[in-house]
Structure 1
Amino acid sequence: MFTYETADQKEVRRFRIAQFNGRMATVAAGEATVTGFVRSVLEQESSMPPRWTITIIPNVPKDELKPLRPSSRARPFAEDYF
């Protein structure tokens, strides 16, 4: 899990919407970029200005799909024209 802390209300709103809709969210913090599902958005009530802690479950990138067999170079159904 990846924990991210922010004070930006627009960013928090984006994460809450992603969590509610079950969509993935992307966070760019420094050099790290994490994409995954938002697990929780918690407000730290004792801090001033308000801050939020966001927990994201990273999603492993999918491997590139490889064709099962090579495709033919001839046009499909070319014999129908003769």
Structure 2
Amino acid sequence: MFTYETTDQKEARRFRIAQFNGRSATIRSADATVTGRVRSIVESKTSVRMTWVITIVPEERTSMVPTARPAPRMPIAAEDYV
């Protein structure tokens, strides 16, 4: 799991929407870029400014293997069109 802390209200809202809709979200910090599902967003009340602690479960990278295209469908009575 990846934990990220932000003070940006728009960013926190974007992650809440991603969590609600079940979409993956991407966090770009100075060190790395993490893409995954938002597990939780907790407002931290210990600081003077509003901060949110966001927990993301990273998605595993899958190699994109192109699949073969399906054969074109023929009408039921193909001989009628010939």
TM band (smaller chain)? 0.7 to 0.9
Shift of the alpha carbon at 1:24? 0.3
Residue of structure 2 in register with 1:42 after alignment: 42
Aligned pair count reads 68
Residue of structure 2 in register with 1:54 after alignment: 54
TM-score when scaled to structure 1? Answer: 0.77
Residue of structure 2 in register with 1:64 after alignment: 64
Alignment gaps of 5+ in structure 2: 69-82
Alignment gaps of 5+ in structure 1: 69-82
| Secondary structure of 2:49's aligned partner | coil
| Secondary structure of 2:60's aligned partner | coil
TM-score when scaled to structure 2? Answer: 0.77
- 1:31 & 1:61 partners in 2: Cα distance? 18
Runs of 4+ more than 3 Å apart: none
Give % identity: 56
Deviations along 1:19-65, whole A, 9 cap, x unmatched? 00000000001030000000000011121101110000000111121
- 1:21 & 1:15 partners in 2: Cα distance? 10
- 1:23 & 1:42 partners in 2: Cα distance? 18
- 1:32 & 1:59 partners in 2: Cα distance? 14
Residue of structure 2 in register with 1:77 after alignment: none
- 1:14 & 1:46 partners in 2: Cα distance? 22
Residue of structure 1 in register with 2:6 after alignment: 6
| Secondary structure of 1:49's aligned partner | coil
Residue of structure 1 in register with 2:33 after alignment: 33
